């Protein structure tokens, strides 16, 4: 069984190596096929590993193995490990399964790009990095995966590196994630100093030795890493800009897998977070604020991918609420369904963008439903799942989180419950605003000019792009049935053992009540969106320029976070660096000891000229005279 996990891990790395070394000899299409086949094989291996794990008795479903000692210094030793349990197995399925579909989709999407091989090499590298992260059995290897997914994300956001905006976005993502990496690293230092170990098993076994303050600080530092990677307040500003990358990248990295790593981290480290209840409360608060803010911002965006990006941020905030409430299984369940419906929406958006020759502005779309009925149908399924309408998958998973909030029945729980329902309202509005703007209304002049000839020529897209969308649509529609309150409980019982201190799970009646309210709220959101956006009318514009202008201004500028960071960090750092470079370093350390001394001595008698003539010779002379004098001195003294 563990061999299969190693194989799953090794396959994408093999893909990178093959594409890097033999890429030039492959035909352009071959690269995509090779990378996809590798992903299919990895998915197969991961599936068999999952089945083998499931066939074991429940108390043996956790296996660890060390391949080699990675780093050592005294009593500090870190291995290259795998830790295979229920959570790892599930994450492997998401990463390789959804990853495989997105690779297939990319074959069509990237067709004609001159850099296909590089693209697929990066994609395989991303998958490898993500697998390193999820199979790790210690915190240092987790950090390695953490950093490598950041690197792959940087490479893929900046894939079209001739675009200044793409390069800028890639750098921004990397640096914000570096801040998260540093937080995570300091957390690891702290745990090592306090507990003398960085392996999961060691930390979990001795976590009870930490005082609440120690545990809270450690968890806060881990949380910094989680916030950066999962684009949560206050380290979220990189995610919308990351949409500069090709759309399959947005689907795979910035929706389905990498950005949910923060949720994974908290769920994985739950035996530690158990000792930091205040941090868990903080996670819920950050989640609630984040889901409301991102949902509100999504309502006013005009770029199709940015709308979905803010939606992703909002949905991950739901997952944070889930894990913060100790309903780890619900958070992971939402991660699971979200991977399907969000990848679906991104790929649907990719089909639209493809049909419009790269256009991403919703104002240049409209009326696409007649031209792209299949895409429209799948997009509606994704939209209903996202809004959380019963019985689509997102509804079950989101209501599992909100049901848990109801079940907790504390102030925090009620904040989460009310905030989450308000968020569901916004989700309904922004999701269906997007659908109406893109697929309904009158076709924009741009779309009218560009889309019909393209679609007449290619159809809605090649089958390599359509089939993955269909499969994801199936998942988005039906995966919720894994966990029907009171009927099935695949998710909750599968994940239950990962938390030794138990998980929060709502009763069936609490969940059904939440489902009822949640669906109702979602439908209200859809109705509001229909009222405002289904037909051309000036109501949204009137609100924007009228009573709502202050709020609209704030939301359109993403609540001013970027401006804040520019004035707080970017400019001061640049200013300080320039000042130190130009005015301090050059004067005090480079001018003064030589030219400065020269100028001063010249003032007295130009003695420096002597030194400048054949300076090396004179140095060698000084050296030789030094040695000679030294020897002479010794000889004299020796006698």
Q: In the range 561-590, which residues lie near another protein by CB under 8 A?
A: 573-574, 576-578, 580-582, 585, 588-590
Q: CA–CA separation, 554 vs 563, rounded Å?
A: 11
Stretch that binds another protein, among 43-51, 304-312, 328-336, 613-621 (CB under 8 A): 613-621
Q: CA–CA separation, 519 vs 533, rounded Å?
A: 20
Interacting positions 466-485 with another protein (CB under 8 A):
none
Does residue 500 have a cis peptide bond before it, meaning omega lies within 30 degrees of 0? Answer: no
Stretch that binds another protein, among 85-93, 141-149, 388-396, 472-480 (CB under 8 A): 141-149
Q: Minimum distance between the CB of residue 620 and another protein, rounded to whole angstroms? A: 5
Pick from 20, 10, 23, 90: which is nearest to 490 by CA?
Answer: 90
Question: Cβ distance 256 to 123 under 8 Å?
Answer: no
Beta bridge partners of 77: 72
Q: Which of 453, 541, 626, 628 binds another protein (CB under 8 A)?
A: 626
Question: Cβ distance 291 to 318 under 8 Å?
Answer: yes
Q: Minimum distance between the CB of residue 592 and another protein, rounded to whole angstroms? A: 8
Q: CA–CA separation, 5 vs 469, rounded Å?
A: 27
Interacting positions 169-198 with another protein (CB under 8 A):
171, 174-175, 178-179, 181-182, 185-186, 189-190, 192-193
Residue 303 has what DSSP assignment?
B
Q: Is 122 in the site for another protein (CB under 8 A)?
A: no
Q: Residue 26 or residue 543: which is nearer to another protein going by CB?
A: 26
Q: Is 547 in the site for another protein (CB under 8 A)?
A: no
Interacting positions 31-70 with another protein (CB under 8 A):
68-70
User: Which positions from 99 to 118 touch another protein by CB under 8 A, shown as an x/- string?
Assistant: -------------------x
Q: Is 25 in the site for another protein (CB under 8 A)?
A: no
Integer CA distances (angstroms), 135 to 128, 196, 273, 355, 485, in order:
11, 22, 20, 39, 30
Question: Strands 62-73 and 76-85: what pairing?
Answer: antiparallel
Q: Residue 445 or residue 629: which is nearer to another protein going by CB?
A: 629
Q: Residue 178 or residue 523: which is nearer to another protein going by CB?
A: 178
Q: Which of 10, 40, 48, 151 binds another protein (CB under 8 A)?
A: 151
Q: CA–CA separation, 199 vs 69, rounded Å?
A: 12
User: Which positions from 371 to 390 touch another protein by CB under 8 A, shown as an x/- string?
Assistant: --------------------
**Residue 456 half-sphere exposure toward CB, CA atoms < 13 A:** 6
Neighbours of 554 (CB within 10 A): 15
Token pair for residue 278?
Answer: 């205040």
**Residue 526 half-sphere exposure toward CB, CA atoms < 13 A:** 15
Q: Minimum distance between the CB of residue 541 and another protein, rounded to whole angstroms? A: 37
Q: Which of 76, 501, 560, 567 binds another protein (CB under 8 A)?
A: 76
Q: Residue 182 or residue 471: which is nearer to another protein going by CB?
A: 182
Which helix (DSSP H) or strand (DSSP E) does residue 396 occupy?
helix 393-408
Q: Minimum distance between the CB of residue 69 and another protein, rounded to whole angstroms? A: 5
User: Which positions from 403 to 422 touch another protein by CB under 8 A, shown as an x/- string?
Assistant: --------------------
Count of residues in contact with another protein, rule CB under 8 A: 75
Stretch that binds another protein, among 29-37, 163-171, 361-369, 428-436 (CB under 8 A): 163-171
Which helix (DSSP H) or strand (DSSP E) does residue 449 occupy?
helix 445-458
Integer CA distances (angstroms), 547 to 255, 512, 555, in order:
34, 38, 14
Interacting positions 192-251 with another protein (CB under 8 A):
192-193
Q: Residue 539 or residue 632: which is nearer to another protein going by CB?
A: 632
């Amino acid at each position: 069984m563990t061999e299969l996990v190693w194989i799953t891990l090794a396959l994408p790395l093999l893909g990178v190596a093959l594409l890097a070394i033999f890429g030039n000899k492959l035909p352009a299409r071959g690269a995509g096929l090779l990378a996809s086949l590798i992903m299919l094989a990895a998915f197969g291996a991961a599936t068999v590993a999952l089945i083998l794990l499931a066939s074991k008795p429940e108390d043996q479903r956790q296996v660890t193995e060390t391949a080699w000692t990675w780093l050592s210094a005294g009593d500090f030793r870190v291995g290259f490990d795998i830790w295979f349990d229920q959570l790892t197995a599930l994450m492997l399925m998401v990463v390789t399964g959804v990853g495989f579909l997105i690779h297939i989709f990319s074959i069509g999407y990237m067709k004609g790009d001159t850099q296909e091989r590089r693209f697929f090499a990066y994609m395989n590298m991303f998958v490898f990095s993500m697998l390193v992260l999820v199979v790790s059995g210690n915190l240092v290897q987790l950090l390695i995966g953490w950093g490598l997914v950041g690197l792959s994300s940087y490479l893929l956001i900046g894939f079209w590196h001739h675009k200044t905006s793409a390069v800028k976005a890639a750098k921004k993502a990397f640096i914000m994630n570096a801040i998260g990496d540093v937080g995570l690293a300091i957390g690891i230092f702290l745990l090592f100093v306090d507990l003398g170990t960085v392996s999961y098993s060691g930390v979990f076994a001795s976590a009870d030795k930490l005082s609440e303050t120690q545990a809270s600080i450690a968890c806060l530092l881990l949380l910094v890493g989680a916030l950066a990677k999962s684009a949560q307040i206050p380290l979220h500003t990189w995610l919308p800009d990351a949409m500069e990358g090709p759309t399959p990248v947005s689907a795979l990295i910035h929706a389905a897998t990498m950005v949910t790593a923060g949720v994974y981290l908290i769920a994985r480290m739950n035996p530690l977070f158990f000792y930091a209840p205040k941090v868990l409360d903080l996670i819920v608060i950050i989640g609630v604020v984040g889901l409301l803010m991102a949902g509100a911002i999504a309502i006013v965006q005009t770029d199709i991918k940015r709308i979905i990006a803010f939606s992703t941020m909002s949905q991950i905030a739901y997952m944070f609420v889930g894990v913060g409430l100790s309903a780890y299984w619900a958070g992971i369940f939402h991660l699971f369904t979200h991977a399907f419906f969000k990848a679906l929406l991104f790929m649907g958006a990719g089909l639209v963008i493809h049909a419009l020759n790269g256009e991403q502005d919703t104002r240049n779309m409209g009326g696409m439903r007649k031209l792209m009925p299949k895409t429209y149908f799948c997009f509606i399924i994704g939209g209903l799942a996202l809004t959380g309408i019963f019985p689509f998958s997102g509804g079950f998973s989101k209501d599992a989180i909100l049901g848990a909030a109801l079940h907790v029945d504390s102030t925090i729980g009620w904040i989460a419950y009310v905030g989450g329902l308000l968020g569901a309202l916004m989700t309904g509005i922004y999701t269906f605003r997007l659908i109406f703007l893109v697929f309904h209304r009158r076709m924009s002049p741009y779309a009218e000019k560009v889309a019909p000839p393209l679609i007449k020529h290619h159809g809605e897209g090649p089958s390599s792009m359509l089939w993955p969308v269909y499969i994801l649509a199936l998942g988005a529609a039906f995966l919720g049935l894994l966990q029907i309150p009171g009927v099935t409980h695949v998710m909750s019982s599968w994940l239950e053992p990962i938390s030794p201190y138990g998980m929060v799970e709502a009763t069936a009646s609490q969940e059904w009540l939440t489902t009822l309210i949640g669906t109702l709220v979602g439908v209200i959101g859809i109705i509001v969106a229909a009222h405002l956006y289904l037909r051309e009318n000036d109501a949204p514009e009137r609100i924007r320029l009228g009573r709502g202008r202050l709020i609209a201004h704030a939301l359109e500028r993403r609540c001013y976070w970027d401006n804040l960071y520019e004035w707080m960090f970017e400019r001061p750092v640049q200013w300080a660096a320039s000042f130190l470079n130009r005015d301090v370093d050059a004067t005090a350390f480079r001018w003064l000891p030589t030219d400065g001394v020269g100028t001063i001595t010249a003032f007295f008698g130009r003695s420096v000229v002597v030194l400048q003539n054949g300076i090396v010779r004179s140095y060698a002379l000084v050296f030789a005279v030094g040695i000679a004098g030294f020897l002479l001195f010794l000889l004299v003294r020796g006698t």
